[in-house]
C-alpha cells in the first residue's frame, strides 16, 4: 500500500515537474539564441553575388570588381526626356544637375563631368554615371542613388529618371526589405485567422501561434550561427522562406498533435498521460514527415546557384526548429494549461465526441471505393491536362520585368529602349589580366556586335573593360555578343547584368538535372524505410510529381494571361519541385501511416484505405489550408519570382490536399489492395489462424484524428 502511494506520488511529481522543466529549458535556449537572432539582419545581403552561380563568369567579375580600386562600381544612367523634344533650357538643366552630382560625389574618370548622349529623335538625353564611392557597401550605394535622384529632378514637362544596375539593385533592395516585418506580420495574421476557424476557441489558437513565433526566433539565431560557422548565404528570399516554413510546417505539426491530444483527453484522465499517449501516437508520423522535408531541402546544397544553395540549410533550420518546438514546448504548455485551453469545447474524461453526420471525407472515400479505377483515370487525365499549361509559361524573366510594380529604375530602362531602339544601354563588364589588357581590348572591338569598348580601372593584376553592345539589353543579339566574347577571350571573365541572366538560366538548368534526381531518391529511400514497401513510396512520389506538373501548368495559364507577367523566374521549376515534393509527401505520410496501422490491426485493404481517409482527411485538409495560405503570402510581395514561387506552391499544396491525397492515392490504394505494401509482410494474404492464435494483432492502431 505504501509502495503504491509512493509510486503514485512519484508519478504525480513527474507530471508536474516535466512540463515546467521543458519550459525552463526553452527559456534558457531562447536567452542564448537572442544575441544571435538579433544579428541575422546584419548578415542578410541581397547583393548580386548572393543570387548568382558560384562558378559563373559573371560571379567572378563581380568578385574581382570588389577588389579593384574603389571597390565595386555603382553604374547609374540619368535619363532626361520630353515627349515633344528637348529644348535648349532642358539640356542646360540636365548639364547643371549632372555637374552638381559630379561635384558632390567621386565619379569614375576623375574630374571629368560625364557627357550626355542624345537620342536620334531629340526627345531623350542619357548620362552614364559610374561611381566607385560606395564600394561594396549596400547602404552607401542606396544613399548615393537616393542623393542622385534628389538632385536630378524634372520640371515643366521634363521627366528625369535614374536607372542603371545600381539603381535597379537599390529598388530591388527595397522589395527585399519588405520581406522582413510585412511578411512576418501577414503570415502571423493568416495563420491566426485559420487557427481560430479550425479550433473554434478564443484561447487555443494562441498557443501554437505563440510557439511558432518562438520557433521562428530560435531559427533566426541558428541561421546566424550557420552563417558565421560555414558562410551560409543569407538573403531576403531565403530568410523569408525560412519564416514561412516555420509557421506553415510548425502549424501543421501542431494541428496533428492537438487533434490527437484532444482525442486522448477523452480516454485518459490526466493531461500529462494524455499528452504522452498523443506523442506516441502521432510522433512517428511527424518525425518522418519533418525528416523528409529536411532531407529534401538539404539536397539544394548540391545546387551551384548561391541563392538556391543557401535556401536549403535555412529552410531545413526552419523546419527542424518548428519540429523541436511543436514536440516539446507546445506539449509542455498544453499540459500546464490543462483541459480548459479547449474552452468552450472542452474534451471531458470519459465523454464521446458529438456524433456528426456523414463527413465530406467519408463521402469522398465511398466514391473512391466504389469506382477506384474510374476515379484514378479521371484524376490522372485532369492532372495531365493541367500540366499542359507549362507550354504556355513565358520565357525567362528579364531584369526590368522582375518587379510587380515598376520602380523608377525600370521605367528609366523602358524610356531608353524607346529612345535608343536597337542599341545597348547598359555595359557588359569584362575583367581581363592587366598584362594583356590592350590585346583583349583590340579583340573586343573586333568582335561582332560590339559598338564600343573602353578600359577602366586597373588593380590587383586585373583590368576592367566596359563594353557597349550594338543590340538592346537582354536581346538575342546581345546574348550572342556575350557568348562570342567568352569564346574569344581566354583567361578573361565576361559579366554585367545581361551576362548574369545568361548564367542564371544555364545554371538553373544544370542544377535541375542534379538536384531533382537527388531529391527523388532521398525521399523515396525515407518512404521505403518508413512504410516498409516499394509500391506505396513509388505511388506517393509519382503523386507529388504529378501535382508539381499540374501546379506549374496552372501557373502557365495565369502568369501571362491573367497577371501580365512578361517572364518566368529561371529557378521556379527547381525550387517549386523541391518544396512541393518535400512538403507534399508529408500528407502522404500521414495518410499511408494510418492506412498501414489499420492493415496491421487486421482491416482488409479497402477498409484500411477508407478508414485512413476518413480519420485523417480533416486534419490533412486543415494542415494543407494553413500551409497553402502561408506560401500564398509571397504573392503579395513585390518581386515576380516570389509571386510565382508562392503561387505555384500554394496551388500545388491545395491540389495535393483536396484531389491527390483524398481521391487519387486512396483510389490507387483500393485498386492495388494488398499489393500496395509489396514486398512487405502486409502484401501477403493472411493465413488461417492456428489453435489459440488471435485473428488480429492485439494492439490498438495509432490514430491521427480530425481536429
pLDDT tens digits for range 134-152: 766 778 888 899 999 999 9
Lowest mean pLDDT among 43-52, 72-81, 439-448, 575-584: 43-52
Query: Using an 8 Å Cβ cutoff, are 454 and 442 in contact?
Result: no
Q: How far is CA 512 from CA 399, 576, 640, 657, in A?
A: 22, 11, 20, 25
Nearest-angstrom CA–CA distance, 704 and 601? 15
Q: Residue 282: CA atoms inside 13 Å, Cβ hemisphere, count?
A: 34
DSSP β-bridge partners for residue 79: 126, 161
**Ranges in the chain annotated CATH 3.30.70.260:** 427-495
Q: Which CATH number fits domain 18-50+201-355: 1.20.1640, 1.10.287, 1.20.58, 1.10.150?
A: 1.20.1640
Report the percent of the chain where pLDDT is more than 70: 90
Residue 610 cell numbers, joined? 477508407
**What CATH code would you report for 427-495?**
3.30.70.260
Q: Per 3-state DSSP, what percentage of the chain is helix, strand, and coil (rounded to 5)? A: 65, 10, 25
Say which residues have a Cβ less than 8 Å from residue 616's Cβ, sequence separation at least 6: 590, 591, 594, 704, 705, 706
Fold designation for 356-405+502-686+699-707 = Multidrug efflux transporter AcrB transmembrane fold (1.20.1640)
pLDDT in tens, 384-409: 999 999 999 988 888 778 888 888 88
Fold designation for 68-176 = Alpha-Beta Plaits (3.30.70)
pLDDT at 696 over 50: no
- pLDDT band (50, 70, 90) for residue 686: low
- pLDDT band (50, 70, 90) for residue 430: very high
User: Per-residue pLDDT averaged across 505-533, rounded?
Assistant: 90
Query: Using an 8 Å Cβ cutoff, are 165 and 144 in contact?
Result: no
pLDDT at residue 225, as a whole number = 93
**Could you give the strand order of the β-sheet that contains 74-81, starting from the edge strand earlier in sequence?**
117-118, 124-131, 74-81, 159-163
Burial degree of 529 (CB within 10 A; 0-12, 13-18, 19+): exposed
pLDDT in tens, 185-194: 888 888 888 8
Grid cell 505504501 in the structure block, residue: 2
DSSP β-bridge partners for residue 107: 131
Nearest-angstrom CA–CA distance, 139 and 14? 54
Q: How far is CA 441 from CA 157, 451, 483, 490, in A?
A: 41, 13, 16, 13
Nearest-angstrom CA–CA distance, 300 and 293? 12
pLDDT at 701 over 60: no
pLDDT at 364 over 70: no
Nearest-angstrom CA–CA distance, 87 and 418? 19
pLDDT at residue 464, as a whole number = 87
Nearest-angstrom CA–CA distance, 677 and 692? 27
Total Cβ atoms within 10 A of residue 13 = 10
Lowest mean pLDDT among 28-37, 87-96, 363-372: 363-372
Query: Using an 8 Å Cβ cutoff, are 451 and 469 in contact?
Result: yes
Residues in the chain: 707
Say which residues have a Cβ less than 8 Å from residue 13's Cβ, sequence separation at least 6: none
Per-position b or e across 559-597, b if 16+ CB within 10 A of its CB = bbeeeebebbbbbbbbbbbbbbbbbbbbbbbbbbbbbbb
Nearest-angstrom CA–CA distance, 248 and 262? 21
**Ranges in the chain annotated CATH 1.20.1640.10:** 356-405+502-686+699-707
pLDDT at residue 130, as a whole number = 83
pLDDT at residue 425, as a whole number = 61
Lowest mean pLDDT among 66-70, 115-119, 220-224, 549-553: 66-70
Q: For 433, list phi and psi in degrees, rounded to 5.
A: -55, 135
Q: Mind giving me the DSSP string for 507-530?
A: HHHHHHHHHHHHHHHHHHHHHHHH
Query: Using an 8 Å Cβ cutoff, are 488 and 286 in contact?
Result: no
Nearest-angstrom CA–CA distance, 706 and 265? 14
Report the percent of the chain where pLDDT is more than 90: 32
pLDDT at 218 over 90: yes
Grid cell 472542452 in the structure block, residue: 346
Lowest mean pLDDT among 171-180, 245-254, 449-458, 462-471: 171-180
- Give one word for 493, left, alpha or beta, with left for phi > 0 and alpha for psi -120 to 50: beta
HEC readout, 550-597: HHHHHHHHHCCCCCCCCCECCCHHHHHHHHHHHHHHHHHHHHHHHHHH
Query: Using an 8 Å Cβ cutoff, are 194 and 625 in contact?
Result: yes
Amino acid at each position: 500500500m505504501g509502495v503504491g502511494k509512493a509510486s503514485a506520488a512519484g508519478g504525480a511529481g513527474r507530471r508536474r515537474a516535466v512540463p515546467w522543466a521543458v519550459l525552463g529549458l526553452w527559456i534558457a535556449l531562447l536567452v542564448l539564441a537572442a544575441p544571435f537572432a538579433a544579428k541575422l539582419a546584419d548578415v542578410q545581403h541581397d547583393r548580386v553575388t548572393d543570387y548568382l552561380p558560384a562558378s559563373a563568369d559573371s560571379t567572378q567579375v563581380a568578385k574581382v570588381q570588389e577588389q579593384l580600386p574603389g571597390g565595386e562600381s555603382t553604374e547609374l544612367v540619368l535619363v532626361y526626356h520630353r515627349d515633344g523634344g528637348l529644348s535648349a533650357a532642358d539640356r542646360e538643366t540636365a548639364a547643371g544637375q549632372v555637374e552638381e552630382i559630379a561635384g558632390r560625389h567621386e565619379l569614375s574618370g576623375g574630374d571629368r563631368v560625364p557627357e550626355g548622349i542624345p537620342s536620334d529623335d531629340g526627345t531623350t538625353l542619357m548620362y552614364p554615371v559610374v561611381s566607385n564611392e560606395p564600394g561594396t557597401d549596400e547602404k552607401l550605394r542606396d544613399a548615393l542613388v537616393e542623393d542622385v535622384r534628389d538632385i536630378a529632378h524634372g520640371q515643366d514637362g521634363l521627366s528625369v529618371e535614374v536607372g542603371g544596375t545600381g539603381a535597379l539593385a537599390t529598388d530591388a533592395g527595397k522589395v527585399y526589405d519588405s520581406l522582413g516585418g510585412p511578411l512576418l506580420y501577414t503570415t502571423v495574421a493568416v495563420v491566426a485567422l485559420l487557427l481560430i476557424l479550425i479550433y473554434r476557441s478564443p484561447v487555443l489558437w494562441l498557443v501554437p501561434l505563440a510557439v511558432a513565433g518562438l520557433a521562428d526566433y530560435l531559427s533566426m539565431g541558428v541561421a546566424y550561427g550557420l552563417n558565421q560557422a560555414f558562410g551560409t548565404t543569407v538573403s531576403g528570399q531565403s530568410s523569408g522562406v525560412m519564416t514561412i516554413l516555420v509557421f506553415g510546417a510548425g502549424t501543421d505539426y501542431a494541428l496533428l498533435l492537438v487533434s490527437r491530444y484532444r482525442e486522448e483527453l477523452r480516454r485518459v484522465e490526466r493531461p500529462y498521460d494524455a499528452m504522452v499517449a498523443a506523442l506516441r501516437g502521432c510522433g512517428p508520423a511527424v518525425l518522418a514527415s519533418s525528416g523528409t522535408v529536411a532531407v529534401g531541402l538539404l539536397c539544394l546544397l548540391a545546387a551551384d546557384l548561391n541563392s538556391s544553395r543557401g535556401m536549403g540549410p535555412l529552410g531545413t533550420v526552419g523546419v527542424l526548429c518548428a519540429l523541436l518546438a511543436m514536440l516539446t514546448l507546445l506539449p509542455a504548455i498544453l499540459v500546464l494549461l490543462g483541459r480548459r485551453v479547449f474552452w468552450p469545447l472542452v474534451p471531458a474524461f470519459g465523454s464521446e465526441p458529438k456524433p456528426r453526420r456523414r463527413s465530406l471525407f467519408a463521402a469522398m472515400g465511398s466514391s473512391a471505393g466504389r469506382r477506384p479505377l474510374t476515379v484514378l483515370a479521371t484524376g490522372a487525365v485532369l492532372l495531365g491536362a493541367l500540366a499542359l499549361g507549362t507550354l504556355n509559361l513565358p520565357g525567362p524573366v528579364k531584369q526590368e520585368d522582375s518587379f510587380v510594380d515598376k520602380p523608377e529604375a525600370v521605367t528609366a530602362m523602358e524610356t531608353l529602349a524607346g529612345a535608343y531602339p536597337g542599341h545597348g544601354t547598359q555595359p557588359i563588364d569584362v575583367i581581363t589580366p592587366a598584362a594583356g589588357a590592350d590585346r583583349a581590348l583590340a579583340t573586343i572591338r573586333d568582335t561582332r556586335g560590339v559598338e564600343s569598348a573602353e578600359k577602366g580601372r586597373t588593380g590587383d593584376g586585373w583590368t576592367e573593360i566596359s563594353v557597349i553592345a550594338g543590340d538592346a539589353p537582354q536581346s538575342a543579339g546581345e546574348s550572342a555578343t556575350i557568348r562570342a566574347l567568352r569564346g574569344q577571350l581566354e583567361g578573361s571573365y565576361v559579366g554585367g547584368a545581361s551576362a548574369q541572366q545568361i548564367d542564371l538560366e544555364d545554371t538553373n538548368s544544370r542544377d535541375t538535372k542534379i538536384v531533382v534526381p537527388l531529391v527523388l531518391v532521398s525521399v523515396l529511400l525515407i518512404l521505403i524505410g518508413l512504410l516498409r514497401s516499394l509500391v506505396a513510396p513509388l505511388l506517393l512520389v509519382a503523386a507529388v510529381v504529378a501535382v508539381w506538373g499540374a501546379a506549374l501548368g496552372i501557373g502557365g495559364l495565369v502568369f501571362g494571361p491573367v497577371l501580365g507577367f512578361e517572364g518566368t523566374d529561371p529557378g521556379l521549376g527547381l525550387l517549386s519541385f523541391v518544396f512541393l515534393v518535400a512538403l507534399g509527401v508529408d500528407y502522404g505520410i500521414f495518410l499511408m501511416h494510418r492506412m498501414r496501422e489499420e492493415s496491421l490491426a487486421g482491416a482488409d485493404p479497402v477498409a484500411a484505405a477508407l478508414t485512413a481517409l476518413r480519420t485523417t482527411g480533416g486534419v490533412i485538409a486543415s494542415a494543407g489550408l494553413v500551409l497553402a495560405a502561408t506560401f500564398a503570402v509571397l504573392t503579395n510581395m513585390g518581386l515576380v519570382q516570389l509571386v510565382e514561387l508562392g503561387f505555384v506552391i500554394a496551388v500545388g499544396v491545395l491540389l495535393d490536399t483536396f484531389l491527390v491525397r483524398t481521391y487519387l492515392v486512396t483510389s490507387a490504394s483500393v485498386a492495388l489492395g494488398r499489393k500496395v505494401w509489396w514486398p512487405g509482410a502486409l502484401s501477403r494474404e493472411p493465413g488461417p489462424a492456428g489453435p489459440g492464435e488471435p485473428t488480429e494483432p492485439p494492439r490498438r492502431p495509432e490514430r491521427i484524428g480530425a481536429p
